[in-house]
Structure 1
């Protein structure tokens, strides 16, 4: 009830007013009671206590108090584990197979509750860099039953087993749960969120080249798994302009006036909301997976038989993993920026999804700011700036409904000014250098503070000296790109493993231009966000 009151429209406000009920006072009273009695709720140790903690924690997460959200969600996790929600219930011979049986319904409620805990735990870990508190090896709970007729369906028991039932409104949670598992794997294996994890590449043995090879292989593996996930999405959960649409509401007011909504129009509306959320989460996951490779560059070693004639490097393979990751991140962020062209985006601004949308728009905006500053005068940079402009407009549309969107808008505006400042500096200092066949910008070896609108400064102190692998990885707590339909190659279009370059045969080093951009914008974004109440 309290969450619904957060997004109530004018029509329902009038209905409450006729009953002499003030919506804001009622909401404040409910949350005040919950704050006062939350320990009493937790002490019950029941399934309802887990559900209450999840809902309350998600509210604080999205509406201005993440510091309180994390421990409340932690309470939900501990109660869920005490209730063994993460373990599969044994089905006895006496358990009826009918979907209307009480034991089966009870089991589905337990699973739904557990996967809700898993999702919010993963989201907090991705957004704030907190360690993930769930060990997948300890969990053997099944995926959710996505069928409206459980007796006619067969639940997948593993990640690789496809869903075979018809698409229902329950299918969304099934696919979001699977995506959460993928995101959790990326956080652990690529960023070392769980520092004691043996899978984290940053803790692997061997020299820099071999560890970089392992990193590329892990990124490739996770990207293939993500592509496989996307290929299984049914058409009703795909956000595409050519997707046949059923009847849908025309405005937020129409939704507000549809009390007790049901029927084909309402179902079509919910399906499109679900498709929007899955699309944003998918694009975010692609950025998350490919982000670790952005700092690197690969060139073939020169041939030493030319004397004083400059050596001509051999042609790089078509599967340069670092260039591919850069293009993937750019395309994913641009795809996110195009979400505003769908009518469902406007309707989503009046729902609980608005904060979820705002966080993913911020991720895409930071990514495009970084990529636009790598080569400020290029065509790709211009395309990135167009994407930033679209994202700014989307955040502006959402800011009245979401604290996160309003603060994300302010952050993106300041980062955009940094992009334009770098572009202006490049235009006013076009020093010719025949070695590069164009202009050569000396800002990589200088220290130039950039002034922000708040009077602070973001220092640009970069060196062409190659840093060690340990120091080159930004700590997860300082990275903003960890909040998650790519137009890039699908799994079937990719080259096979034989075409993948062996990194040991090429010179791989950190690209100073990209590293400079990453340091500028990630440290700058963190500095700006730390000034905000929501991100404190």
Structure 2
């Protein structure tokens, strides 16, 4: 179609766009559209164009301020100077029919503002119902025109799909959101948003950049959250980063007429950079090329990839601007200005994203061990690794003691410590009540819930590995705070409410394992040696309490040294057991589910005391890399009859990029 249009131009002819609109590749030109609408359009009441009543302009300004305070700092889809100009053009309640896409964009923004205002109106039930009704009606209006928007690729159409999908991923319709992501990517590519504009004014270019980079980060977040391949290839894009621009978030006079401005866009640029840095490793985890095979996630190449990605994102973290560094040791002031509140939330969002990426990057290294244990010992799909005797699995692990140093000499990376510290940092939000309240009242509410859920699972895995340790006690206190915060978040987000019920099951498991460890009988070393508890092999109380559940001490092993919380013999196996146990209590697939160290007295003990770098990697990197070379028939890839399990992929020990199974 592009070549055909060039041929027409050689003859100084204009292509009849109405006669070519059914041909793939057709794209209406702006000039042609302008010529048609200039003749046909007349300014009409907005309600006539949309066939639905819109809020009065006074109410529009109120809800727009709610939108900017709750959503805009998190998702910089609109460019405020451009948006304000278009808003002024309809301030009298009249608009051209050609402005319908902008009116739908305004509707979705007002719907989000009304939703968050309804959540804050907890003291007045009547007001809460009024705002909720406005939100429902406005979202229904947008949903009614989605197909029409997809047929007309434009910046505005992409903005509407982004905001509509962003709301539903956090508030009860994650599958719709995921489908909208795919449509939005194609809409934006059809509109050329992924390419650097060759011409145009500054404001239009900046708006295009904001829209595309928002889609890019949404795609990366969706891959991590849903456990599915990336939708955007970095090699297909050449768009530069958005500039730092100050915007006015106020619309009610006289504040809207004064110079109250905030720079939100630095946050978007830093978030883009974080996902760009981690993209190669994320692609290795989620790419369809890993489907049906564990080799890509269990080899030396992946270890080097994780090491490089970890170092790069740590370097990114150290170079953040001061106003975007999350201060987890100090809560926000209750009298903070709007800019300070926005930057505090942005810094928290960056910290949560950073820690979540660390967890995801290092997850496959731990899970490979569990896969190996299940295939080596012929574990049936219905049994977890915890069902096997400790002596058999621990012995199998120790026989294949391939340290990380042996695989990649001189690479000192500590995967379990990354998991632990990332989870602890995330949990610290529960110690900052004012910042947590700000997050609860904003678009960060469900994103925070997702990350708190992941952090609690990581901490539970560590506690289950040694239920009587000091670490486990720290974990119980921390998970208690997370549960209390999740309970509050659950009043605003279905995702938070449902994750709370899952975490309660995990806590029940943790308490049961703790009681079993306390009441477990003491086992001697070896019956073959004729030793008894009354003999020379009598174990101390401390050594006994540090044993794994249902454990016997191998004759060739030494009892754990005093103060060592993770005995060398079964270190890898015990972590495997705990991960398998957590996965065991997670419910099956439910499409509706997705709806620095602690300081002071709460500072946790060193997780792996006196541990050499190679020993640290025995916890995380498979001592059992041979699993990657196991015969294909030993690996169960039976599809899950319940379908994909959404967020649960992260804690499914058998997930390897292919079909999920229990």
Whether these two folds match at TM > 0.5 is: yes
Offset of residue 442 of structure 1: 3.5
- Aligned to 2:623, the other structure's residue is in SS state strand
User: Which deviations, in whole Å up to 9, do the C-alpha atoms of 1:435-462 show, x marking residues without a partner?
Assistant: 8964353479xxxxxxxxxxxxxxxxxx
| Distance in 1 of aligned mates of 2:186 and 2:650 | 36
Equivalent position of 1:325 in the other structure: 415
Equivalent position of 1:379 in the other structure: 470
| Structure 1 unaligned residues grouped into runs of 5+ | 92-101, 150-166, 251-263, 298-312, 445-462, 468-473, 489-498, 513-520, 528-536
Offset of residue 239 of structure 1: 1.5
* 1:73 is the counterpart of 2:168: no
| Distance in 1 of aligned mates of 2:318 and 2:197 | 30
Equivalent position of 1:363 in the other structure: 454
| Distance in 1 of aligned mates of 2:497 and 2:321 | 33
Q: Alpha carbons of 1:266 and 1:508: their partners in 2 closer, same or farther (altered >3 Å)? A: same
Q: Conserved in 2, the CA contact under 8 Å of 1:60 and 1:69?
A: yes
* 1:50 is the counterpart of 2:158: yes
- Aligned to 1:432, the other structure's residue is in SS state coil
Q: Conserved in 1, the CA contact under 8 Å of 2:170 and 2:495?
A: yes
Q: Alpha carbons of 1:442 and 1:12: their partners in 2 closer, same or farther (altered >3 Å)? A: closer
* 1:417 is the counterpart of 2:526: no
Map 1:123-522 onto structure 2 (within 5 A): 123-148=221-246, 168-189=263-284, 191=285, 193-196=286-289, 202-204=294-296, 212-241=299-328, 248-249=333-334, 265-295=337-367, 324-342=414-432, 343-434=434-525, 438=544, 439=547, 441-442=549-550, 508-509=623-624
- Aligned to 1:292, the other structure's residue is in SS state helix
User: Which deviations, in whole Å up to 9, do the C-alpha atoms of 1:357-411 show, x marking residues without a partner?
Assistant: 1111111111111121112122222222222122112212211111111111111
Q: Alpha carbons of 1:389 and 1:320: their partners in 2 closer, same or farther (altered >3 Å)? A: farther
- Aligned to 2:468, the other structure's residue is in SS state coil
Offset of residue 171 of structure 1: 0.7
Equivalent position of 1:115 in the other structure: 213
| Structure 2 unaligned residues grouped into runs of 5+ | 1-109, 248-261, 370-400, 527-538, 553-571, 577-582, 600-612, 628-646, 654-662
Q: Alpha carbons of 1:77 and 1:317: their partners in 2 closer, same or farther (altered >3 Å)? A: closer
Equivalent position of 2:62 in the other structure: none
Q: Conserved in 2, the CA contact under 8 Å of 1:131 and 1:194?
A: yes
Q: Alpha carbons of 1:428 and 1:69: their partners in 2 closer, same or farther (altered >3 Å)? A: same
Q: Conserved in 2, the CA contact under 8 Å of 1:88 and 1:142?
A: yes
| Of 314-323 and 375-384, the range deviating more from structure 2 | 314-323
| Distance in 2 of aligned mates of 1:424 and 1:137 | 54
- Greater CA radius of gyration, 1 or 2? 2
| Distance in 2 of aligned mates of 1:429 and 1:228 | 46
Offset of residue 175 of structure 1: 1.0
- Aligned to 1:358, the other structure's residue is in SS state helix
Offset of residue 345 of structure 1: 1.2
User: Which deviations, in whole Å up to 9, do the C-alpha atoms of 1:47-86 show, x marking residues without a partner?
Assistant: 1000000001111111111111111121111010111111
Q: Alpha carbons of 1:132 and 1:329: their partners in 2 closer, same or farther (altered >3 Å)? A: same
Equivalent position of 2:633 in the other structure: none
- Give the TM-score taking structure 1 as reference length: 0.66
Q: Conserved in 2, the CA contact under 8 Å of 1:354 and 1:398?
A: yes
Q: Conserved in 1, the CA contact under 8 Å of 2:424 and 2:598?
A: no
Q: Conserved in 1, the CA contact under 8 Å of 2:118 and 2:129?
A: no
Q: Alpha carbons of 1:114 and 1:201: their partners in 2 closer, same or farther (altered >3 Å)? A: farther
Offset of residue 321 of structure 1: 7.6
| Distance in 2 of aligned mates of 1:428 and 1:348 | 42
Q: Conserved in 2, the CA contact under 8 Å of 1:349 and 1:398?
A: yes
Q: Alpha carbons of 1:86 and 1:295: their partners in 2 closer, same or farther (altered >3 Å)? A: same
Equivalent position of 2:40 in the other structure: none
Q: Conserved in 1, the CA contact under 8 Å of 2:324 and 2:347?
A: yes
Q: Conserved in 2, the CA contact under 8 Å of 1:122 and 1:183?
A: no
Q: Conserved in 1, the CA contact under 8 Å of 2:449 and 2:496?
A: yes
User: Which deviations, in whole Å up to 9, do the C-alpha atoms of 1:104-140 show, x marking residues without a partner?
Assistant: 2111111100011111111111111122111111111
Q: Conserved in 2, the CA contact under 8 Å of 1:276 and 1:345?
A: no
- Aligned to 1:142, the other structure's residue is in SS state coil
Q: Alpha carbons of 1:393 and 1:82: their partners in 2 closer, same or farther (altered >3 Å)? A: same
